[in-house]
Structure 1
Amino acid sequence: MFLIAVAFLALYFLFNGLLLPAWRERQAIEEGLDNPESFGHQVPDPFSGITQLQQIPHKYVPGGASDPDGKRRLIFIGDIHGCKNELLELLKVVGFNKEMDKIIATGDVIAKGPDSPGVIDTLMSLDALSVRGNHEDRVLLAANARTTAESPAESNDESSTDVSAASRGAGLKGEALLDYLKPRHLKWLRSLPLIIHIPALAPPKRPAPTTSVADTLSKKKPKKTFQILDDINIVHAGLVPSVPLLRQDPFSVMNMRSMSPTNHVPSENRKRGIPWERVWGWYNDRIARTHSTFMSWLFGFTTESSEASEWWKSWHGMHSSRDDDGEAQTLIKHSKPSVVVYGHDSPRGLNLHRWSKGLDSGCVNGDQLSAMVLNAWGQAEIVQVDCKHRK
């Protein structure tokens, strides 16, 4: 009897402490997708001068017709925050090759750290890509707000060679950092899109490599390895499920950390909902399942059926109410699963899930700078370097 009582109590606490909360969360997320007033049903106000979506040029995508031997790689880098030395060290560790590799930063490449101008110059010299983060946005808002004919930011001498800490804007952000950025820096920052989209890879026919490039070059084993063969979207903070990429709210894309499961309203406050990536993961898990003919047979309907729920239809891009006139053919809809690579949330650190890869590991706070290296076969590895204590 004692063992039966213990087993009963264990089951009770398992149900109430784990299974029931998880079930309630899933129910709330599903209700949010069915809710016609959920976030994203209205057209967001466009941010003037911001590129919402950029397709990565095909020549940079590993594998496929442009890379039959699979020599290209994509190197995704988390929030750099002006830590130039650590950026250079990380590129050395992964064996960066400008001819074969393309850097894609997750935003917040500037602010707080010791050398924001130096980081921008480095990324520009390497023809790197990046998305716009909230700190880039703040600096650009400050630049736009200046109305004088010759503001410090616009009149700095491009040929200046002063490399003192003060001249690099060490530790500064926002308008204070603006005074240390030159016109070329601001031009580059203004060119950054909110979202970069990468199509699913087409792996070469020859066998995939069996050793890590980073391991071979640096003798440092990658922290994590996994595979990504789905579409990839790079943003600074996050995305809202079922909302087409061109309809994502710019402020939320740069600032969100949490999301209400019942209406999918994103927030930069972690306490206002659950981590957004949990909603994203739930959503994409179910998209992936719809690709199975067995699942269609099991549920007894197709996506065109009136029996399919509204959220099921929205996953397949069937909500015409979310399309702008003339954009239906160009919108990238979440009709198939996609992986989000993002930064922004250093308190959570390296945050790896099936459908989301969080790379902000707090370099500017003295933790690590993280890179995710992806080859043509979809093999991904996380490589990190230690950062000097900044605070």
Structure 2
Amino acid sequence: MADEKRPSIIDTRHYPDNLAVSSSDNDERKTPQRDGRTAFFQSFPRSLGQRPLIDYVKNTWGSSRSRPRANSASSSRSSSGKPLRFFLSMISAPKFRRYVLVYIALVASFYIGWSSFLQPILEERAGLVRALDLETMKQVGGWFGTNTRPVFADIVPIRSLDPVLVPASKEGDSGDVQQRRLVFVGDVHGCKDELERLLKEVSFDAEAGDHLVFTGDMIHKGPDSVGVVELARGLKASCVRGNHEDRILLLRSQMKVDGTFSHPENDFNPNDASQRKVARELSDEQASWLQDCPVILKVGQVGGIGDVLVVHGGVVPGVGLERQDLSSVMTMRTIDLDTHVPSASKKDGVPWFKLYNKYQELLSQHIENSVDGLYGSLSGTTTVIYGHDAVKSLNIQKYTKGLDSGCVYGRKLSALVVENGGKQEVVQVKCKKHAKS
């Protein structure tokens, strides 16, 4: 009969439960559902003979297969974009970015090291060598020191240290060689307490063969200039004239001439009040002892070091001691590379000790030839021990030894101890601050 229900031909064993199907059956007749399997089969159409079952399966592979292929133009564009995509993928890789950062850091470090350190050093060395070339002297019309220096009244230009005080050339274990020591002390500037502590630190003993040498500026700025001078006199120390001794001694003489030495109320220049105070505090004996300090002290030959000089400021290389400008020897800090003119300024040229060390280095290289010429008679190198330059502070180099370490400004007081055989040791003590730098 037409309205009789057609038997189902679906075998539930042939279809899994997870198969997605759809139904286009419009029959609104409903059959009571006994379980989930009955509801599953009700989603199939009533008439299975009209369309294949596969048409009711939902899957994406069919739609992808029916997608049209790209034309040749789009394929060509895709091929041409591959290198760009490869490049973009490469630079976006974490490892590549790390390598790039490392390479950039290396290049930046090299540039900073070259421009900030290596290049200035090479340029400075080239400038020092050029400054000692005879062609440079011809170009500038001569160097400083070619003229005879003027004679200064009341100033001792050069003096030699008693050879008995100089340490032996060799260290002696036997009793016939006395263990002598030279103790060179930087700018004291009236800091007596610190000086006494320094001498205690080095175990100074004059009776055992120690000798004390001051590099100038023993007085002024600090609290006890007179005490420092008395201590030095009592130890029979040697000294050189510094710019502060020079200024105060000249001022003291002028004060006696113009009548202000005994009458402080007549002082009319408040700018040098502290210097006038020290000038009045010094006794005639103390002032005379300072007046006897030479500008240049020739220590002589010290084993392991060579010839040794003591000055306060510095010396011009290549110029004989008798032609050195005494005022410059007490005050110089820099030197002009072309003319070799020294200056008390900190900016006019290069530090004098740099040119001096280069000069001594060249001298040492030619020492065996012993020829006369630009460097004079090559009898040996000379080491200069000096003070004055608190800005550079302790500055120990091969041929120059700077000992002003700013004690009066609250830093340190330094001593260079030289023993038999040229053995050297630097000893320092901390200082209280007595003046502004």
1:197 counterpart (298, 306, 312): 298
For 2:228 and 2:273, how far apart are their aligned partners in 1?
14
Q: Give the CA deviation at 1:18.
A: 4.0
For 2:341 and 2:326, how far apart are their aligned partners in 1?
13
Given the superposition, is the C-alpha separation of residues 373 and 146 from structure 1 closer, same or farther in structure 2, using an over 3 Å criterion? same
TM-score (norm 1): 0.74
Given the superposition, is the C-alpha separation of residues 112 and 290 from structure 1 closer, same or farther in structure 2, using an over 3 Å criterion? same
Read off the aligned partner of 1:370 and give its amino acid letter: S
Query: Residue 111 of structure 1 contacts residue 172 of structure 1 at CA under 8 Å; is this kept in 2?
Result: no
- Larger proportion of helix: 2
For 2:331 and 2:257, how far apart are their aligned partners in 1?
29
Structure 2 residue 298 is matched with structure 1 residue 183: no
Query: Residue 52 of structure 1 contacts residue 195 of structure 1 at CA under 8 Å; is this kept in 2?
Result: yes
Read off the aligned partner of 2:224 and give its amino acid letter: D
Match of 1:209 in 2: none
Which aligned pairs between 1:130-149 and structure 2 lie closer than 5 A? 130-148=239-257
| Bigger RCO of structures 1 and 2 (CA < 8 A, at least 6 apart) | 1
Which aligned pairs between 1:192-341 and structure 2 lie closer than 5 A? 192-202=293-303, 228-292=304-368, 303=371, 313-317=373-377, 335-341=379-385
Aligned-partner SS, 2:385? strand
Which aligned pairs between 1:74-153 and structure 2 lie closer than 5 A? 74-99=182-207, 100-148=209-257, 152=261
Match of 1:44 in 2: 149
Query: Residue 153 of structure 1 contacts residue 183 of structure 1 at CA under 8 Å; is this kept in 2?
Result: no
Aligned-partner SS, 1:233? strand
Given the superposition, is the C-alpha separation of residues 173 and 132 from structure 1 closer, same or farther in structure 2, using an over 3 Å criterion? farther
For 1:369 and 1:182, how far apart are their aligned partners in 2?
26
Q: Number of aligned pairs? A: 318
Q: Give the CA deviation at 1:102.
A: 0.6
Using the TM superposition, name which of 79-88 and 143-152 deviates more: 143-152
Give deviations 1:313-371, integer Å, cap 9, x for gaps. 22234xxxxxxxxxxxxxxxx75211111111112111111111111111111111111
For 1:134 and 1:148, how far apart are their aligned partners in 2?
21
Q: Give the CA deviation at 1:29.
A: 2.8
Structure 2 residue 125 is matched with structure 1 residue 26: yes
Match of 1:219 in 2: none
Give deviations 1:187-236, integer Å, cap 9, x for gaps. 0011000111122224xxxxxxxxxxxxxxxxxxxxxxxxx521111000
Given the superposition, is the C-alpha separation of residues 83 and 172 from structure 1 closer, same or farther in structure 2, using an over 3 Å criterion? farther
Q: Give the CA deviation at 1:24.
A: 3.3
Aligned-partner SS, 1:102? strand
Q: What RMSD over aligned residues (CA atoms) do the two structures have, in Å?
A: 2.8
For 2:180 and 2:274, how far apart are their aligned partners in 1?
35
Query: Residue 70 of structure 1 contacts residue 377 of structure 1 at CA under 8 Å; is this kept in 2?
Result: no
1:358 counterpart (389, 402, 406): 402
Q: Give the CA deviation at 1:7.
A: 6.7
Q: Give the CA deviation at 1:377.
A: 1.2
Query: Residue 153 of structure 1 contacts residue 178 of structure 1 at CA under 8 Å; is this kept in 2?
Result: no
Match of 1:225 in 2: none
Which aligned pairs between 1:151-166 and structure 2 lie closer than 5 A? 152=261
Q: Give the CA deviation at 1:11.
A: 5.7
Give deviations 1:72-122, integer Å, cap 9, x for gaps. 100000001011111111111111111211100000000000111111011
Read off the aligned partner of 1:95 and give its amino acid letter: S
1:346 counterpart (390, 414, 421): 390
Using the TM superposition, name which of 338-347 and 171-180 deviates more: 171-180
Query: Residue 139 of structure 1 contacts residue 173 of structure 1 at CA under 8 Å; is this kept in 2?
Result: no
Query: Residue 367 of structure 2 contacts residue 379 of structure 2 at CA under 8 Å; is this kept in 1?
Result: no
Given the superposition, is the C-alpha separation of residues 150 and 98 from structure 1 closer, same or farther in structure 2, using an over 3 Å criterion? farther
Read off the aligned partner of 1:385 and give its amino acid letter: V
Query: Residue 287 of structure 1 contacts residue 335 of structure 1 at CA under 8 Å; is this kept in 2?
Result: no
1:60 counterpart (137, 143, 165): 165
Query: Residue 82 of structure 1 contacts residue 118 of structure 1 at CA under 8 Å; is this kept in 2?
Result: yes
Match of 2:94 in 1: none
Match of 2:71 in 1: none
Read off the aligned partner of 1:130 and give its amino acid letter: C
Match of 1:377 in 2: 421
TM-score (norm 2): 0.67
Read off the aligned partner of 1:345 and give its amino acid letter: D
Aligned-partner SS, 1:377? helix
How many percent of aligned residue pairs carry the same amino acid? 35
Read off the aligned partner of 1:367 and give its amino acid letter: R
5+ residue gaps, structure 2, are 1-98, 264-271
Q: Give the CA deviation at 1:144.
A: 2.3
Structure 2 residue 195 is matched with structure 1 residue 69: no
Q: Give the CA deviation at 1:148.
A: 4.1
Q: Give the CA deviation at 1:43.
A: 1.7
5+ residue gaps, structure 1, are 155-170, 203-227, 297-301, 305-312, 318-333
Given the superposition, is the C-alpha separation of residues 29 and 262 from structure 1 closer, same or farther in structure 2, using an over 3 Å criterion? farther
Read off the aligned partner of 1:387 and give its amino acid letter: C
Query: Residue 316 of structure 1 contacts residue 336 of structure 1 at CA under 8 Å; is this kept in 2?
Result: no
Query: Residue 78 of structure 1 contacts residue 343 of structure 1 at CA under 8 Å; is this kept in 2?
Result: yes
Q: Give the CA deviation at 1:151.
A: 6.2
